[in-house]
Amino acid sequence: MEQKRTDQSIGILLDKFPMVSDFLASFNLKLEDDSLTFVEIVTGLPSSFFEDQATDAQQLLELFDEFMIGLNETQIVQSIESLEVLAGIDKSGKPEKCSIKLIPGEITCIVGPTGSGKSRLLADIEWLANKDTPTGRTVLINGDSPDDSRIAQMGGKLIAQITQNMNFVLDMSVIEFLRMHAQSHFMMNVDEVVEEVIKLANDLSGEPFQPETPVTFLSGGQSRALMIADVACIGQAPIVLIDEIENAGVNKKKSLDLLVKKDKIVLMATHDPLLILLADKRVVIKNGGMHKVIETNPVEREFYSELEQLDNKLQLTKDYFRYGNELKAIGEIY
């Protein structure tokens, strides 16, 4: 049986989880002897302490145990160093021609015609396929196929999915939603994190909203921008699956840069050539199977710069007419 966190000395816990100091500070607990366990520390506290903190010894111990469970789950999830999808079969039952390996800080695109099987590959990863889906693929985490106990330990925090069709049904404001999410991940600097997420989301969407805005009032672009910023700053999931966000009303390059900067594994199904060339590599899907993997080469990087200039002009043109302007002369938009 695993040793309870409260049975370990505070010194050992601080070595493993530096955030324990934030928990202690939040209750104004001064550490005088790090050889003591948290139970021993709480047992030695005067009754006046509990009156000042509006709690009791049992509640404090339960809060600490929940906090440590959360930190342990976070450590498990953050230890993801690679994700592999081993070849299965295509729609005709023939073996796929390649497998793929994804690592943190890397962007991989899935390309192929509509209906070719791009979303099926995303679904296989989301379900951590183990030869139990129509494709017969196997998903490996750090080189191993995760068993049920490891999946349970991950607590559903392994994968985040962002699609074009994201809508909120919660009856709360943006700031209330983000605070609730941050607190559920045992973050101590909740207000700072929430402020950062809102700032990033407004930057990504280009359509500002206020912290007090109800989440159900957000537009499609604002909703997706908020979720991207939330996944990057609050969500623990190290793997981000994106399904065709090219028309989602967000700044695509900034969104991907943000996720990569946070060391996420990013896999994205897309038809957008800008996103394809912005990626590190792409897996080509044919007839439901992984056909080949192409590394983005220097010529494609250079071509991306040309496409980006054209895309910037197109965005300026969209904004020009969106805000009610009337074109009087060719070239005045730029």
CB atoms within 10 A of CB 153: 15
- pLDDT for the residue 294: 97
Decide if 258 contacts 100 (C-beta within 8 A).
no
Backbone angles phi, psi at 221, to 5 degrees: -65, -40
* Bridge partners for 106 per DSSP: 265
* Cα 128 to Cα 108: distance, rounded to the nearest angstrom: 18
| Dihedral Cα 89, 90, 92, 94, nearest 10 deg | -50
* Cα 236 to Cα 238: distance, rounded to the nearest angstrom: 6
* Cα 150 to Cα 39: distance, rounded to the nearest angstrom: 28
The pair of three-digit structure tokens given for residue 283, joined into one six-digit string: 């897996």
Tell me, letter by letter, the H, E, C secondary structure of 309-324: HHHHHHHHHHHHHHCC
Helical (H) or strand (E) element with 240: strand 239-243
Residue 280: partners with Cβ closer than 8 Å, 6 or more residues away: 106, 107, 108, 295, 296
Decide if 84 contacts 139 (C-beta within 8 A).
yes
Decide if 230 contacts 181 (C-beta within 8 A).
yes
Q: How many residues does the chain have?
A: 334
- pLDDT for the residue 1: 35
HSE, CB side, 13 Å, CA atoms: give it for residue 34. 8
* Cα 100 to Cα 5: distance, rounded to the nearest angstrom: 38
DSSP codes of every residue in 259-307? HHHTT-EEEEE---HHHHHHSSEEEEEETTEEEEEEEPPHHHHHHHHHH
pTM of the model: 0.74
Taken in order 306, 311, 314, 320, the sign of the CA dihedral is negative
The pair of three-digit structure tokens given for residue 173, joined into one six-digit string: 């404001």
- pLDDT for the residue 78: 58
Q: What is the DSSP letter of 103?
A: -
Backbone angles phi, psi at 243, to 5 degrees: -115, 100
Residue 252: partners with Cβ closer than 8 Å, 6 or more residues away: 245, 246, 272, 274, 275, 278
> What is the C-alpha R_g of the chain?
24
Taken in order 42, 46, 49, 51, the sign of the CA dihedral is positive
Each residue's pLDDT tens digit in the chain (334 positions)?
A: 344 455 788 888 888 777 788 788 888 888 888 888 999 888 889 999 888 888 898 988 888 887 777 666 555 555 788 999 999 999 999 999 999 999 998 999 999 999 999 999 999 998 899 999 999 999 999 898 877 666 655 555 688 888 766 666 678 999 999 998 888 776 768 889 999 999 999 998 878 899 999 998 988 888 889 999 999 888 878 899 988 776 666 788 888 899 888 889 999 999 999 999 999 999 999 999 999 999 999 999 999 999 989 988 888 888 889 889 998 888 888 7
* Cα 226 to Cα 73: distance, rounded to the nearest angstrom: 24
